[in-house]
Amino acid sequence: MSRRVAIALQIDEPYPHHQEVFAGIVRYAQERADWECLIDEHPASNARRRRGLANRYDGVIARARPHLQRLLRRQGIPLVNTLFQTHRPGLPGVYADPWAMGRLAAEHLIDRAFRRLCVLVDRRHKHSWEICRGYARKAAEARVSCTVHDLPEEPYDDPVYWLRVERSLIGILEELTPPVAVFAETAPVARLMVQLARARKWRVPSDLAILCAHNLKAVVGVAPQISAIEPNYERVGYEAAGLLDRLMAGEAPPPEPIYVPPRGIIARESTDYSAVEDKVVAAALHFVSGRLGKPLRLREIAAAIMVSPRSLQLRFRAGLGRSVSAEIRRLRIESAKRMLAEPDRQLREIAVLC
């Protein structure tokens, strides 16, 4: 018997994660011969039913606002929510794991030797706030300083709001001391932060590293490219469909939501640097970063910056906690990962360049 499943994800919104969740649901449905997926942004609409447009569904996957939650509960239709902002206890839901995202962001920056972290967050946005909590908790565990700045989000087409954001970021930059790493949830705010920092003659990433939570390619791909978390929203959709399938089969809802961890970090120019106070180590990293496709020997690097090999090795271990060769290997791996994300790159070319 065919199962009619309504999908209400605000699919017309220009956010890639809406489409990625949808793609995950469709992938699950393609594996099930008895699923019929229907886009319906108002799956419990009484108006449609009054007009004789039958829209009785076997289940719904939605970015479910409280009103929709109540209507579906009254109609006895199973619901899986994908909007963390509206989650409540007892509601079946599948969400991108905000704590894992925050911890991953902090780990990425701490691994690059940043000891001053900053996060920009809209405290009203529950998912953003939980990302911030994960970020701050990881910073505390690593005994790294972390400042939190509230940056309320409003529609960007409001010129007054956009000027207010710009003034806020200028004020935040005045409080920060380079080298510092900033985590901003949205790509446009991260891009604006880069612009304002460069206007102050700060170098990105050596003075200011920046990372954002959404890999909005059109914004992060402009030089200097901005590093971003890569959430697994397609997996969110796939897991949501699987959970709904079990609910429609009569299983009891799980006691807790399903949280999907991120795929990882897409490292780009804005964090591709180790922030060290030691000018010798910084000079060595600058020398190395432009020669990753060539043989790099400790003696040659030391000679280029006019220190002894032993001194350079000791200073790397003191500043970064790893050897020169380990840092070169890490930089090559990060470079290869970035290039693998570029569709026109050939594996042979990447191997040569790294």
State yes or no: pLDDT of 57 exceeds 50: yes
State yes or no: pLDDT of 15 exceeds 80: no
Determine the pLDDT at residue 342: 59
**Percentage of residues in the chain having pLDDT higher than 90:** 48
Q: What is the mean pLDDT of the chain?
A: 87
- The pLDDT tens digits of the residues spanning 205-223 come to 888 999 999 888 888 888 8
State yes or no: pLDDT of 336 exceeds 80: no
- The pLDDT tens digits of the residues spanning 153-173 come to 877 777 888 888 999 999 999
Q: Of 108-122, 295-309, 325-339, give the lowest mean pLDDT range.
A: 325-339
What's the whole-model pTM score?
A: 0.79
Determine the pLDDT at residue 50: 43
Determine the pLDDT at residue 249: 92
Determine the pLDDT at residue 276: 64
Determine the pLDDT at residue 155: 73
Determine the pLDDT at residue 17: 87
State yes or no: pLDDT of 268 exceeds 90: no
Determine the pLDDT at residue 339: 67
SS3 string, the chain, reads CCEEEEEECCCCCCCHHHHHHHHHHHHHHHCCCCEEEEECCCCCCHHHHHCCCCCCCCEEEECCCHHHHHHHHHHCCCEEECCHHHCCCCCCEEEECHHHHHHHHHHHHHCCCCCEEEEEECCCCHHHHHHHHHHHHHHHHCCCEEEEEECCCCCCCCHHHHHHHHHHHHHHHHHCCCCEEEEECCHHHHHHHHHHHHHCCCCCCCCEEEEECCCCHHHHCCCCCCEEEECCHHHHHHHHHHHHHHHHCCCCCCCCCEEECCCEEECCHHHCCCCCCCHHHHHHHHHHHCCCCCCCCHHHHHHHCCCCHHHHHHHHHHHHCCCHHHHHHHHHHHHHHHHHCCCCCCHHHHHHHC
- The pLDDT tens digits of the residues spanning 275-327 come to 666 778 878 887 887 788 888 888 988 888 888 989 888 888 887 778 888 88
- The pLDDT tens digits of the residues spanning 182-207 come to 999 888 899 999 999 999 999 888 88
